Amino acid sequence: AQSVTQPDIHITVSEGASLELRCNYSYGATPYLFWYVQSPGQGLQLLLKYFSGDTLVQGIKGFEAEFKRSQSSFNLRKPSVHWSDAAEYFCAVVANQAGTALIFGKGTTLSVSS
Amino acid sequence: ETGVTQSPTHLIKTRGQQVTLRCSSQSGHNTVSWYQQALGQGPQFIFQYYREEENGRGNFPPRFSGLQFPNYSSELNVNALELDDSALYLCASSLVRGGAVNNEQFFGPGTRLTVL
């Protein structure tokens, strides 16, 4: 069965420092991968997605992610974190060929210290 | 362009009651998906509606049911509420063209359901 693992429950990063959030997936075929962000009281906002092609994907708000098939990973990165980046981050994979369902990880809470 | 909206924002029910949650999809979208997000967890897929029919379902019992209307808005109904149904319920809409799977889902702010 498809699954997504986000090993880090909570990460604290200093403002201006770089960020990497880890995501590992389990899926037999070519995965469709997503990163979403959720601020308190808000719905999920798509940061970026990977379907095929270039393994380094650029997203909104200065985020990028790299797909590594050999490691079954899709880690999210940002070179310089801003205080407004504090939020919950979710990695997700499309669960089936019909594309009807997203399977989410449990999320990583990002705190930004000054 | 209007985004995905959900109502109500918050809801408190007691065990055994029934609840209906509503979702208006983003303009131009034809597909609605519902997710349950328990506290401290990622969203879990409940089901999806396309062209007013259920088009995929997650591991949820039949007391979770839904509807999609001709204007693509949707309802999630939960019967015989249990304490574990307390969660944030998220609606997401998307535009599905010709069976393509790479359709981005746009999420609403959610409805917070508390079951006492």
Q: How confident is the model over A93-102, as a mean pLDDT? A: 74
Residue A7 has pLDDT above 80, yes or no: yes
Say if B5 is an interface residue toward chain A (CB within 8 Å). Answer: no
DSSP line for A50-105: E-SS-SEEE-GGG-EEEEEGGGTEEEEEESS--GGG-EEEEEEEE-STT---EEE-
pLDDT digits (tens, 9 = 90+) for A24-48: 998 777 788 999 999 987 889 999 9
Inter-chain touch A106–B48, beta carbons under 8 Å: no
Q: Which two tokens stand for residue A72?
A: 């079954």
Asked whether residue A58 carries a pLDDT value surpassing 80, the answer given is yes
All residues of chain B having their beta carbon less than 8 Å from the beta carbon of residue A109 are none
A76 pLDDT band, cuts 50/70/90, is: very high
B46-90 residue pLDDT tens: 999 988 899 889 999 999 999 999 988 999 999 999 999 999 999
Please give the DSSP secondary-structure letter assigned to residue B109: -
A92 exposed, middle or buried (CB, 10 Å; 0-12, 13-18, 19+)? buried
Rounded CA gap, A3 and A103, in Å?
7
pLDDT at position A6 over 60: yes
Who's near B98: CB < 8 A, 6+ residues apart?
Answer: none
Angle at B31 between CA B26 and CA B35, to 5 degrees: 90
Q: In sequence order, what are the beta bridge partners of B11? A: B113
Q: What local confidence, expressed as pLDDT, does residue A19 receive?
A: 97
